[in-house]
Chain A
Amino acid sequence: MTSDFAIVTRDETQHESRLIHGLAERRGAVIEARDDCDEELRALCELEWNRLRNALGRIREGRWRCVVSASRQDGAVSTTSTISVNLLDLSIVTTPPHLGSDYEMLIELASVPPTADAHVRELPLVWRNGSGAVLLHEAAGHAAEHGHAPAGWPSWLRVLDESEQGTADLTRGEPPMAMRRQSFTDVPMRRMTSVRVEAGLDRQIPARRIDVLLIAGGRYEPLTETVTVFVSAADLVDGDRSVRLRPFVIESPRAAVAGALRGSTGGVRRYPGVICSKEGQELFAASHAPDLVTEFR
C-alpha cells in the first residue's frame, strides 16, 4: 500500500496563531512525514482563512477557535473549516455557512440561566436541534469503528455515516468508509465524517419531557460498550412552561440506548457538529437527525 498526503492548516484563536504544514508518504506500514510546504495548498488555506476571518467579525461575545485546512490525498484536494465558539459554559462547533445561525443559537441558549436539576430517568427526553445524532454517533458510530455487533437497533432507525468514500450503515455495524487523519504526523484511521440519522416512526411529543438542546461531549467505552453523553443545555418542559436545567450526564449501556429509542418527530435537522477525538486526533464530524424521543428507565 502506498499513499501520499499533504496538508496546510491554520489554527487560530483571538490571541494565538498556528501554521502547520507537512507531507506524509506511506509505504506499507511505514509513514515518512516531513514539515515541507505544498504551496498550492498553502494558497488555498490562506484564501479560506481570509474568507473566514471576515465572518468572525460577527462574534461579539465569547472565545473562538478556527481550524482551516487544505489537504491533498493521492492527488485529490479538499478544504475544511471549523469554528468553535465558547460562551459561558456552553460551546458549539460549526462550519462557515452556519456560523451566523449557530452563533445566534448559542447566544440564545446562554441567555437563559439554568435553575433546575434534571431527573433523566423519570421523563422522556426529546433530542432537539439534531442532537440525537450525537447520541448515536457514540452508540452506533464508535461501536461500528470498534467492530462491535449491532445493538438491536429498532427497525425504523438507520444511522448512516456519509463521506466521499461512500456511505456506511452504522446501525448494521458497518465501519466508516473514510480513512481520516488530523495532520501529516498522524496515522489515518476509519473515522466518521457526517452522521445522518433516519427515523421512520412518528411519535407524538410528550407534554412533560426534557428537551435536549446542546451537547458538551460524548464518550464510548469499548470494553463495556457504555455510552456517556454530557448535556450542556436542556429544558424541562411541561405543556407550555419550561425551565432551563443544569448540565447533566447520561450514561447507559449501548444496548439500553437502543432499547430507549421510542420514535422521532419532524424532519432531519442539522446539529452544529462535534469534534471527535481519538488517538489524540481531533476531527470534525457533521451531525444530522430528526428530533428523537428516548425513555431511559
Chain B
Amino acid sequence: MSESYRKFGRTVRYENGTIVRVEEAGEAVEEGKTFSCRPVARSNTLAPIDTAPLEQVVREIEDLVRPPLTIERIVVSEGVARHEFDGREWRETIRRVHLSMVFRSTRALIHLGDFDLDDVRAIAAALPRIGPQREAPARVLLAPNVAAALVPHLVGVAPPNVRLSQSAGGFDGKGQPVEARPIGEEPWPNWYRPSYRSRPVLAPFHLRVLCDVTAIDEDLPRAIALLAPPEPLLLRVLCAGRDHVFPATIRVMRIDAVAREARWYPFGAGSFGAEMML
C-alpha cells in the first residue's frame, strides 16, 4: 500500500547572527520498505510570519547573556506549516529556542518550545556564581526544563510509583489526533515526522510523568540547567543551593514527587517538564 504525505512550510530562523527565511513544500511517499521524497509546488495559503516576536526574543537573550557569560550558540525559530495525508489536512505553528551559554569552561544547554525566557533568566543569573564540582545532593529538585529532558529516557524504566502518559494535543505525522493515553510498552500509537524528508516513526507524544505525590520541597538544591545532553538516567546539571551554585552528576534512582504544573519542551516528540523531586 502506498501512502503519500505533503507538507507546505514557511520558517524564519535566527542562527548565530544570520536570519534565514525558508519557504518549501514537499511530498513523501512510503510503499512497503521504500521511502521517497521530493519538493512539490509551494502553496501560497500560508500566512506570512511576523518576525518581530522572534527578533525581540533574540534581543532579550542577548541582553540576558552578557559578559562574563557568552553565547556559544543561539538558534531561535518560528514556523507555520500545512500538512496533508490521506484526505486529511491540518496546520501547526511552532516556536523553538536552542541556546548554549558559556561561563569559563561550563556550558549550559537550553531548549525551549516557546518564547518564554524565564529559564534563560534563571540560568544566566546563576551560572556566573558556579563553584567547583560537588557530589550530587542526596535529595534534589529538578527544574521543569531539566525534568523534561529526562522524561523520554524514563520510557520502559520508570520507577513503579510514577506513570508515564501521552498528553492530548495536535496531530501526528499521519494526521491522527494525538490523544491522552498511558504509555506502556511499544508499539506507540502515533507517528512522529519532524520533516517531510524524515521517514515517520512510531513515538510517544507530549510525554508527561505523573506521580501521586505532588508536594515539592522548595528548599532542596535545584538542578536548573543541563550541562550536557542527558544520557539514560544520568544528568549532568547545574545545581543551585541556598548558598552555592555547582555542577553535579545526578544518577536518577528514584522519583519522590512530581508537581502538577508542567510546561512543554521540544525533546523527542515533545515532553512536559514539571518540578520533580528526586
Residue of A nearest to B13 (CB): A185
Interface residue? B34 (CB, 8 A): yes
How far is the CB of A9 from the nearest CB of chain B, in Å? Answer: 11
Residue of B21, B42, B72, B73 near A30 (CB, 8 A) is B21
Residue A260 at the B interface, CB < 8 A? no
Cα(A19)–Cα(B17), bound, Å: 29
Within 8 A of B (CB), among A16-56: 16-22, 29-35, 37
Given contacts A34-B23, A35-B25, contact A18 B18 (CB under 8 A): no
Known contacts A16-B34, A16-B36, A224-B105: A34-B18 contact under CB 8 Å = no
Residue B263 at the chain A interface, CB threshold 8 Å? no
Residue of A nearest to B16 (CB): A187
Interface pair A35/B102, CB less than 8 Å apart: no
A15 within 8 A of B: yes
Q: Is A76 an interface residue (CB 8 A)?
A: no
| Pairwise interchain contact A22-B20, C-beta atoms closer than 8 A | no
Q: Is B59 an interface residue (CB 8 A)?
A: no
- Which residues of A in the span 62-118 have a Cβ within 8 Å of any Cβ on B? none
Residue contact A35 to B34, C-beta cutoff 8 Å:
no
Check B42 against A34 for contact (C-beta < 8 Å): yes
Q: Contact at B19–A21, with CB atoms within 8 Å? A: no
CB-CB contacts of B244-276 with A at 8 A, as 1s and 0s?
Answer: 000000000000000000000000000000000
Considering the chains assembled together, what is the distance between the CA atoms of A16 and B23 in angstroms?
24
Interchain nearest-CB distance for B26 vs A (Å): 7
What's the Cα separation between A17 and B73 when bound, in Å?
32
The interface centre, meaning the residue of B16, B20, B21, B39 with most chain A CB atoms within 10 A of its CB, is: B20
The reply to whether the CB of B138 lies closer than 8 angstroms to some CB of chain A is no
Q: Do residues A33 and B22 form an inter-chain contact, with CB atoms below 8 A?
A: yes
Q: Which of B18, B39, B72 contacts A20 (CB 8 A)?
A: B39
Which of A31, A35, A187, A223 is in CB contact (< 8 Å) with B106? Answer: A223
Docked CA distance A37–B42 (Å)? 12
Q: Check: A279 CB closer than 8 A to any chain B CB.
A: yes
Nearest to B28 among chain A residues (CB) is A18
> Which B residues lie within 8 Å of A34 (CB)?
22-24, 42
Partner of B19, one of A29, A35, A37, A186: A29
Closest beta carbon of chain A to B93's beta carbon, Å = 18
The size of the chain B interface, using a CB distance under 8 A, is 28
Contact with B along A180-193 (1 / 0, CB 8 A): 00000111000000
Q: Which residues of A contact B19 (CB under 8 A)?
A: 29-31
B39-A35 in contact (CB<8A) = yes
Check B20–A33 contact: CB distance below 8 A. yes
Given A16-B199, A35-B26, A223-B106, A29:B18 Cβ within 8 A: yes
Q: How far is the CA of A31 from the CA of B19 in the complex (A)?
A: 6
Which chain B residue has the least Cβ–Cβ distance from A225? B105
Query: Is A31 within 8 A of B35, CB to CB?
Result: no
Any A CB within 8 A of the CB of B15: yes
Within 8 Å of chain A (Cβ to Cβ): is B216?
Answer: no
Query: Judging by beta carbons under 8 Å apart, are A37 and B39 in contact?
Result: yes
User: Chain A residue with minimal CB distance to B34?
Assistant: A15
A35 to B10, CA, bound (A): 11
Q: With A18-B37, A224-B105 as given contacts, are A32 and B17 in contact (CB-CB < 8 Å)?
A: no
CB distance from B67 to the nearest CB of A (A): 16
Q: Are B35 and A223 in contact (CB under 8 A)?
A: no
The reply to whether B17 and A31 form a contact with Cβ atoms under 8 Å apart is no
A223–B107 contact, CB under 8 A? yes
| CB-contacts of B68-109 with A (<8 A) | 72-73, 102, 105-107
Chain B positions within 8 Å of A15 at CB level? 33-35
Report if B38 contacts A (CB, 8 A).
Answer: yes
Q: Which residue of B lies closest to A17 (CB)?
A: B36
- B197 within 8 Å of A by Cβ? yes
Q: Given the complex, which residues of A lie within 8 Å of B21, measured CB to CB?
A: 30-33
CA distance A1 to B63 in the complex (A): 27
Q: Give Cα A16 to B196, complex, Å.
A: 13
Residues of B within 8 A of A17 (CB): 34-37
The 7 closest A-B pairs by CB, nearest first: A35-B24, A19-B38, A17-B36, A35-B39, A31-B20, A223-B105, A16-B35
A17-B37, A22-B24, A223-B106 provided; 10 other pairs, C-beta below 8 A? Answer: A16-B34, A16-B35, A17-B34, A18-B36, A29-B17, A30-B19, A31-B21, A33-B21, A37-B39, A186-B20
22 CB-based A-B contacts, threshold 8 Å: A15-B33, A15-B34, A15-B35, A16-B35, A16-B199, A18-B37, A18-B38, A20-B39, A29-B17, A29-B19, A33-B22, A33-B24, A34-B22, A35-B24, A35-B25, A35-B26, A35-B39, A35-B42, A37-B39, A185-B24, A187-B16, A223-B102
